[in-house]
Structure 1
Amino acid sequence: MAGCSALEEAASPSPAGDGKPPASALASAGAGGGRAAGAATTLPGVPGEQQARRELAGLRVAAQGSMAGYSRARFPHWVEQGESCNTRERVLERDGANVRRDEECRAVSGRWVSVYDDEAFTDASDLDIDHTVPLANAWRSGAADWTQERRRAFANDLARPQLLAVSAASNRSKGDQGPEAWQPPARTCWCPYARSWTTVKAAYDLTVTEAERDMLTEMLDTCTP
């Protein structure tokens, strides 16, 4: 699956953890829109395999918590990110090629490849912005106890591999499931997906279940040396 190169950047997240995009994520976008056609899409903050294994070993194992009190409104998302752009538009710009936006920062043209199913799109309305660790999963693994501000930062985190433009169909197939229940259909995506998932959970001190940890280990075992 060619699109899995989108998950492969190995870089450290911003130590500030403020949810702002790293300079490299937007440097080539400019005022007119996105990257040149064919440019590689990468996510910020994807760790290497060994770092991901260390982070996974450090995660606390616990049963999933209750969904009591959960709603997506508890995670304010697609917030303002400057230049009249919200988080969704920033991700569309970062993940697309030749993205052009209007004066309200809406993506009006471009080309995107959904890494989960390798489908190509030219209409931004066909894309969802996936939270690598879904909001409901985060709620069950520790976010229920967070402040609203921390949940806001989590839902709009552009400094880590937490947000990705994918097909609406693949995002809805995944839902709020963890890796123990849903994996990218192509095994070639398992390694970078597990690295991304693990580092997000580690950054936010979220728990994992035994089944989740075991599946993440299996997915990391697909990484090539």
Structure 2
Amino acid sequence: MTVPLGEAIGRLDVAVEDRTGYDRAREFGSGWIDADRDGCNTRAEVLLAEAVEAPAVFGRCTLTGGTWFSWYDGQEVTQTDIDHVVPLAEAWDSGAKAWTRERRVAYANYQDDPRHLEAVSQRSNRQKSDQDVAQWLPEESVRCRYLAYWVPVKLSWNLSVDTAEHQALKNLTDGCSDTDITYTPAP
């Protein structure tokens, strides 16, 4: 389904967020998985897919070298983190708490939508941490792109937004008036 950003934001459920009981490793799995059993875990798959200069691959998917473009902060980096565009804690707060552990692990490792996981600089990933769009945004020049990733992840996974997040999204929409959102429900 493709809709304008403003309409997509209007489709998000607004609800109070609750972090009670959140434990990243217990609720979302203790690490990256190899969902397709090809020897590369999710982190390695994202690094390989997003590399500007591909890393060397040894053995059962050990990566060495490579460069990536961290679009959050406009930096080319050789050391990168994999960012959940909608962080795991934010997903928990927004409805993932009600999911099965299996669905949460699937969310943490989801690769069917390339907007879900991003190779970014360690600095930007750590600054962002588990914050939503009311608390953290990338550089101004890429904010529309960030919203065009954030909103479909929330819609695809049927995750809610809190009042502050919803207001921030609405306020930012004015600068992104020509942005359309395409999304499909996640499995």
Question: How far apart, in 2, do the equivalents of 1:83 and 1:57 lie?
Answer: 40
Counterparts of 1:117-128 in structure 2 under 5 Å?
117-122=73-78, 126-128=79-81
Contact 1:195 1:220 in 2 (8 A): no
Change (3 A) 1:61 1:224: closer
1:95 aligns with: 50
Question: How far apart, in 1, do the equivalents of 2:141 and 2:17 lie?
Answer: 28
State the 1:224 CA deviation: 5.9
Contact 1:137 1:177 in 2 (8 A): yes
Equivalent pairs counted in the alignment come to 173
2:16 aligns with: 63
**TM-score for the superposition, normalised by structure 2:** 0.86
**TM-score for the superposition, normalised by structure 1:** 0.72
Instruction: Return 5+ residue gaps in structure 2 as ranges.
Output: 179-187
- RMSD over aligned Cα, in angstroms? 1.7
Question: How far apart, in 1, do the equivalents of 2:53 and 2:123 lie?
Answer: 23
- Which has a greater percent of strand? 2
TM superposition outliers: structure 1 runs of 4+ over 6 Å: none
Question: How far apart, in 2, do the equivalents of 1:220 and 1:199 lie?
Answer: 14
Contact 1:128 1:168 in 2 (8 A): yes
Q: Give the aligned residue type for 2:47.
A: L
Contact 2:53 2:67 in 1 (8 A): yes
- Is the aligned partner of 1:221 residue 2:174? yes
- Pick 1 or 2: higher relative contact order, CA cutoff 8 A, min separation 6: 2
The share of aligned pairs that are identical, in percent, is 39
Instruction: Return 5+ residue gaps in structure 1 as ranges.
Output: 1-11, 13-46
